[in-house]
A and B are shown apart, each in its own frame.
Chain A
Amino acid sequence: MKRLEARHWTFIGLFLTIGITMLLNFRLDIPVSDRTRVLYDYIEQLPSGSTLIVSFDHEASSVPEIRPIALSILRHAFKKGHKLIGVALLAEGTLIGYRLMRQTAEEYGRVYGADYVYLGFRPQYIAAILSMGKSIRETYPQDYRGNDYDSLPMLRGIENYSDIAGVLSIADGSLTTHWIEYGRGRFDIPVAAGVTAAMVTTYDPYVASGQLDAMVGGLRGAAEYEQLIAREGGGIRGMLAQSSAHVYVVVLIIIGNIIHFASRRRRAA
């Protein structure tokens, strides 16, 4: 049998660390950050029945991280009685978004067509955002299920962004930037986001400048949001795996540096 190398042991160590932590299933104390509270307050303070666009701007690969974020935001919005319009700027996010909306709508007894609709995907995200600014009806003559726009009671009287309270972009990449640049910049529609942890620093300048009204980032953000709405959706449990992996990486970095300095001293001697 081939001898295991250092990297193989690091892989095994990571697998065991996450596996054991998940099996022990202890509860992490995750304080709610001000940033997550801003998004919560934004949805909370909107008058009940406000219409929001939820844009699923992500691919299938990020579902484990995106799902808890989306679930928390959708649950909160449905609980508050807001009307939701689902769209997708990436083809892969279309079905995932539809399933998430349907699942959360059923949990709160919301009816398709009256409380929420799902319009689906349109190619070329910038063009899609801009053309919805002119007319959502013209951009989406039919919804994802094939119903005519005008046959859906919720959409009567909704023509463009001026009839929408805000956009919630659920993203794993830079697509929220286009909502900021074209949706907010051109049509002055408030934009908030739920993004993967890797994208948080990308959007920090937009949050600081007020161009992005609110942002929840990564599994930690999802876990914090779950505490605010008092309902778990995978974020708190996901944080268990993520935190244990982070601790493991920190330990590896420290060990690696101890080895580095010890071998340097040995060479110098």
Chain B
Amino acid sequence: MARRIPLAVCFLSGLVMFAVYFSSHPVAEVINLSVPIYWQIVFAFTLIIGVISYAKNNLNAIRRRQDRPYRMVSLLGFAAMPIAAAVWGIKADTPFIWIFENIQVPMQSTVFALLAFFVASASFRGFRARSLPAGVLLVTALLVLMSRTPLGNVIEYLPDAADWLREFPSMSARRAILVGIGLGSLTTSLRVIIGIERTWLGGEK
């Protein structure tokens, strides 16, 4: 019973949402446009589960003395933001905004910027023409990179060559991937709705 009810709910929800998408009947329109509101509410509850799980995992790890300092900093930040928001609010010139603008944004931008250094190092050590496919990849990368530099303004055909690469080989590959993702999503959705795919219910049985 514990598995049949969720399966039935899933089947009916999938079937109804699929049917109403293609219907212009007023009732179908109401269902179609009202469900997202409930979806947001359900999503908000999943956030609560995430918050509890995150706190629990870190507290357990601290008890086991595993990466203690990092996890403590993590929990401190985790607690500081909602406390700051609850006590002083989230409007301009509050501690919440100060922490966001002066700690979170610079830290995230810094971590993101570090990628440039790793890309430089990786391109020096790894981007080598060891085989024909690697050579083709290398020439392609060099053309696109150089077209984005001032060299692209000096060598007349460089931007055109880079644009051609993006608009034909790259885009056709991208389209193939997108179509593949679409078909894969469709198949998986059908398997879930029909009840063939049951891993979302958890457990092995």
Contact with B109, one of A7, A63, A131 (Cβ below 8 angstroms) = A63
Contact B138 A253 (CB under 8 A): yes
Query: A residues 235-261 with Cβ under 8 Å of B?
Result: 242-243, 245-250, 252-257, 260-261
Contact A95 B33 (CB under 8 A): no
Range of interface residues on B (Cβ < 8 Å): 35 or more
Contact with A253, one of B36, B105, B113, B142 (Cβ below 8 angstroms) = B142
Contact with A10, one of B33, B37, B121, B153 (Cβ below 8 angstroms) = B121
Contact B36 A130 (CB under 8 A): yes
The answer for the CA separation of A135 and B151 in the assembled complex, in Å, is 50
**How would residues 96 to 124 of chain B score, 1 for a CB under 8 Å from any chain A CB and 0 otherwise?**
01001100110011011100110111011
From known contacts A11-B120, A123-B44, infer whether A205 and B178 are also in contact, taking CB-CB under 8 Å.
yes
Contact B127 A11 (CB under 8 A): no
User: Which segment, of B4-12, B72-80, B168-176, faces chain A?
Assistant: B168-176
Contact with B149, one of A59, A64, A246 (Cβ below 8 angstroms) = A246
For the complex, is A228 an interface residue (Cβ under 8 Å from B)? no
The answer for the CA separation of A61 and B171 in the assembled complex, in Å, is 27
Query: B residues 5-49 with Cβ under 8 Å of A?
Result: 33-34, 36-37, 39-40, 43-44, 47
For the complex, is A208 an interface residue (Cβ under 8 Å from B)? yes
Contact B36 A247 (CB under 8 A): no
Q: Across the interface, which residues of A come within 8 angstroms of B121, CB to CB? A: 7, 10-11
The answer for the CA separation of A60 and B142 in the assembled complex, in Å, is 30
Q: How many residues of A contact B (CB 8 A)?
A: 56
Q: Across the interface, which residues of A come within 8 angstroms of B37, CB to CB? A: 127, 131, 138-139
Across chains A and B, the number of contacting residue pairs, with CB separation under 8 Å, is 142
Contact A127 B153 (CB under 8 A): no
Q: Across the interface, which residues of A come within 8 angstroms of B56, CB to CB? A: none
Contact B39 A124 (CB under 8 A): yes
Interface residues of B (CB under 8 A from A): 33-34, 36-37, 39-40, 43-44, 47, 91, 97, 100-101, 104-105, 108-109, 111-113, 116-117, 119-121, 123-125, 127-130, 138, 141-142, 145-146, 148-151, 153, 166-167, 170-171, 174-175, 178
Known: A10-B117, A63-B109, A96-B105; 14 extra A-B contacts, CB below 8 A, are A15-B117, A60-B104, A60-B105, A60-B108, A63-B105, A127-B36, A127-B37, A127-B43, A128-B40, A208-B171, A220-B148, A247-B149, A250-B151, A252-B123
8 of the cross-chain contacts (CB-CB < 8 Å) are A61-B108, A127-B36, A134-B34, A138-B37, A249-B120, A250-B145, A253-B123, A260-B130
Interface residues of A (CB under 8 A from B): 6-7, 10-11, 13-15, 28-29, 31, 59-64, 92, 95-96, 122-124, 126-128, 130-131, 133-135, 138-139, 145, 200-202, 204-205, 208, 220, 242-243, 245-250, 252-257, 260-261
